[in-house]
Structure 1
Amino acid sequence: MVDLSTFDPNDVCNPENGLFGLPFNSVDDAKLIVLPVPWEATVIYGSGTARSIDPILKASLQIDLFDPDFGDTWKNGFYMPEPNKKILTKSDYLRKEAELFVDYICHGEEVGKNTFMCKSIREINEGGAYLNNWVYEQTTNLLTQGKLVGLLGGDHCTSLGFIKALGETKGDFGVLQIDAHCDLRKAYEGFTYSHASALYNVLNEVPQVSKLVQLGIREFCEEEWNFLQENKERIYTFYDKKVKERMYEGATWNTITNEIIEQLPDKIYISFDVDGLDPKLCPNTGLPVQGGFEAEQIMYLIKKIVASGRKVIGFDLVEVGSNNNIIDATVGARLLWNLCNWLCLSNQ
């Protein structure tokens, strides 16, 4: 047990402490573990999400620990281990290969005629499988120790292994996806584990996910639209445009959140891509899209989910940009703080 008798949550933060400046310095010390996954191998447009973890950690030291909604929940212990350097190095290498591959196919070239490109796509897909297995092993180990677990990306594909681990340990559950994009493409650009295929792979590989509820969606292709129409029993989408139109016509956010919660089963995993927010809050995310929500709207929704008696069993926070931008890091850190507290409160 960590001795908190000399720790003053009102005092200046000690930079030698860990996440949020808390004095929990090992997995054994904490109830909730945030697993950092610095991976963005298939992100071709805006980069930087793999290197967002350190800026978020630094920004987390500026957060005041007092919140009337949370009380002393932080005393359960929140801990984030060091990011795995091997994962980051592998991501950097494969991302360069992916850039060359996408440039090649964009010009209409046939992959089968180029030995180097055949090798590249094989390596990239094998790398994605390796990442999934690594996350699965790490999170399974934590869950079997009785820990609550959140994941900090990296791009959106990083959470698949974690969701598999939850399926094996928690049984059936639903996923609440906050996102600008559906992420339901099949093997986008030839990459089996593309960030644009994140939720397609979840639905395809994790049968315990009984329901996917999407919120904030405002960019999707015809392939994804057709997939949504074919899977209406398992997927319910609250399109950003439709939500906003209803609010412009007088519907309250409280009414809409009640409708969202009605679609959710008893156990919930929150998959939070920050591009589901208004891009002013996350300007350096990989692919910002106009529209989206205020952070407070999403936190209100999560608060109501917990109040409804539904249990949050885990979360991921992904696609936070870096690029030395204080806004991205501070918003990411505060979202992470809220998610950690609500996960703990939901499991008391």
Structure 2
Amino acid sequence: MPHSTNSSLEKKIAEFDPNALGDAAGGLYGLPFTVEEAQVVVIPVPWEVTVSYRAGTAQGPAAIRDASLQVDLYDPDIPDAWKLGLAMEEEDDKWAAESHKLRAQAAGYISWLEEGQPSTSAGKHGNVVAEVTRQGEALLKWLQQKAGAHLDAGKAVVVLGGDHSTPLGYLHALAERHAEFGILQIDAHCDLRPAYEGFQYSHASIMYNALQLPQVKKLVQVAIRDLCQQEADLIDHSGGRVVMFHDRFLQEEKFAGKKWRKECDKIIAQLPQKVYLSFDIDGLDPKLCPGTGTPVPGGLEFEQALYLIRMVVRSGREIIGCDLNEVAPGETDWNGIVGARLLYNMANWMAVSQGRLKARDMGKADKDED
């Protein structure tokens, strides 16, 4: 980071009051930092072309940005977290407009599929899949370049969707810079369907597409509670490359008196040293995200999820990148409120794992006796 940027950052830290109300004129969480000054950059991707149930996730980044002004910045584990330098880029209006246009076309095409593909309207939908694929490829390359530029500038990156298809370009950027890494996916769904409903870059295909990268050595899925036979077969025949911790298994362990820390140990043991964290908010109990596109009963509590993330970092593993997706505003601000708090924790603990922040009692969890 250039000296002038360092000086500007230090000056803003000295003058900023973390106890004041969130400044709407400021950045994410009311923080005063620019993208150039920030150590962690959030890239919003307002994209939801292939969602197959409820729409709204394209408004997720804006909802989180608005709700972030209500988040108190003090964290008992990372008291100086706000000093990190966290900033979010402006949304790209081009992608928001393209998503809106293609979403209408894709929705019509999906309805046509559900109606049994009547021949009378086949011509109307003939080019939809090809156009969505073309724009999905363009989005991938755009994000790959944008995220890669931030990584090369020494920054950490969070991708904020939109639907869960959005981070694929970021994964490609990381694959160019890391020989191997694993993915920790917190999600209600496996997202292992190839070209779901004909769409190669579907929100339901993100992890299938991620596995096409040879650098992804392991995919560990947590809180899954909705999958199809094809996905189950893919996991069974992956040779251990994909490991699923189904929500039913986790709940049965809980009912048997097993501690969540022990379950976290099992999850983390499956992860390599470098970890990418992919968080679909529907991995949480839907009372925490009622507006999300495809809610499923069950899932993790908020602090359960945060505990797992902290344990990953305390295990000595490095979170090389992360994404948060499928936050849809719904009828209340609740979805953005939960999403904003989740994003803050994800960004901060990624920074701790990379040595950008220090947390208290980093070894405490490993030393405590059960």
TM-score by length of 1: 0.97
1:117 alignment partner, one of 120, 125, 135: 125
TM-superposed CA distance for 1:208, in Å, is 0.5
Structure 2 equivalent of residue 12 of structure 1 = 21
Q: Give the letter for the 2:241 counterpart.
A: R
Q: How does 1:127-276 map to 2 (within 5 A)?
A: 127-204=135-212, 206-276=213-283
Q: Once the two structures are superposed, what CA deviation does each residue of 1:51-93 show, in whole Å capped at 9, x if it has no partner?
A: 1111111111111111121121321200101111100110111
2:111 alignment partner, one of 80, 96, 103: 103
- The SS at the match of 1:312 is strand
Question: Aligned pair in 2 of structure 1 residues 203, 110: CA closer, same or farther (>3 Å)?
Answer: farther
TM-superposed CA distance for 1:233, in Å, is 1.9
Rounded to whole Å, the distance in 1 between the matches of 2:330 and 2:264 is: 33
Q: Give the letter for the 2:203 counterpart.
A: H
CA contact (8 A) 1:105 1:111 kept: no
Rounded to whole Å, the distance in 2 between the matches of 1:222 and 1:313 is: 32
Q: How does 1:314-325 map to 2 (within 5 A)?
A: 314-325=321-332
CA contact (8 A) 1:134 1:161 kept: yes
Question: Aligned pair in 2 of structure 1 residues 113, 283: CA closer, same or farther (>3 Å)?
Answer: closer
Structure 1 equivalent of residue 89 of structure 2 = 81
Q: Once the two structures are superposed, what CA deviation does each residue of 1:116-158 show, in whole Å capped at 9, x if it has no partner?
A: 3221111111111111111111101111111100110000000
CA contact (8 A) 1:44 1:98 kept: no
- The SS at the match of 2:329 is coil
The 10-residue stretch of structure 1 (176-185 or 26-35) with the greater mean CA deviation from structure 2: 26-35
Rounded to whole Å, the distance in 2 between the matches of 1:83 and 1:333 is: 16
Q: Give the letter for the 2:318 counterpart.
A: K
Q: Give the letter for the 1:45 counterpart.
A: Y
Unaligned runs of 5+ in 1: none
TM-superposed CA distance for 1:324, in Å, is 4.4
Structure 2 equivalent of residue 91 of structure 1 = 99
Rounded to whole Å, the distance in 1 between the matches of 2:20 and 2:345 is: 20
Question: Aligned pair in 2 of structure 1 residues 300, 117: CA closer, same or farther (>3 Å)?
Answer: same
TM-superposed CA distance for 1:5, in Å, is 2.0
Structure 1 equivalent of residue 359 of structure 2 = none
Rounded to whole Å, the distance in 1 between the matches of 2:117 and 2:309 is: 46
- The SS at the match of 1:157 is coil
- The SS at the match of 2:41 is strand
CA contact (8 A) 2:73 2:81 kept: no
- The SS at the match of 1:100 is helix
- The SS at the match of 2:159 is strand
Rounded to whole Å, the distance in 1 between the matches of 2:321 and 2:67 is: 22
CA contact (8 A) 1:218 1:240 kept: yes
Q: Give the letter for the 2:247 counterpart.
A: D
Rounded to whole Å, the distance in 1 between the matches of 2:118 and 2:233 is: 27
Q: Once the two structures are superposed, what CA deviation does each residue of 1:242-280 show, in whole Å capped at 9, x if it has no partner?
A: 110111011110110011110010000000000000000
Q: Give the letter for the 1:38 counterpart.
A: P
- The answer on 1:36 being equivalent to 2:79 is no
Rounded to whole Å, the distance in 2 between the matches of 1:104 and 1:113 is: 8
Rounded to whole Å, the distance in 1 between the matches of 2:66 and 2:46 is: 16
Structure 1 equivalent of residue 334 of structure 2 = 327
- The SS at the match of 1:146 is coil
CA contact (8 A) 1:46 1:286 kept: yes
The 10-residue stretch of structure 1 (333-342 or 46-55) with the greater mean CA deviation from structure 2: 46-55
CA contact (8 A) 2:74 2:82 kept: no
- The answer on 1:286 being equivalent to 2:293 is yes
- The SS at the match of 1:114 is helix
Rounded to whole Å, the distance in 2 between the matches of 1:11 and 1:22 is: 11
Rounded to whole Å, the distance in 1 between the matches of 2:189 and 2:327 is: 15
Q: Give the letter for the 2:139 counterpart.
A: L
Q: How many residues align?
A: 346
Q: Give the letter for the 1:243 counterpart.
A: L
TM-score by length of 2: 0.91
Q: Give the letter for the 2:69 counterpart.
A: L
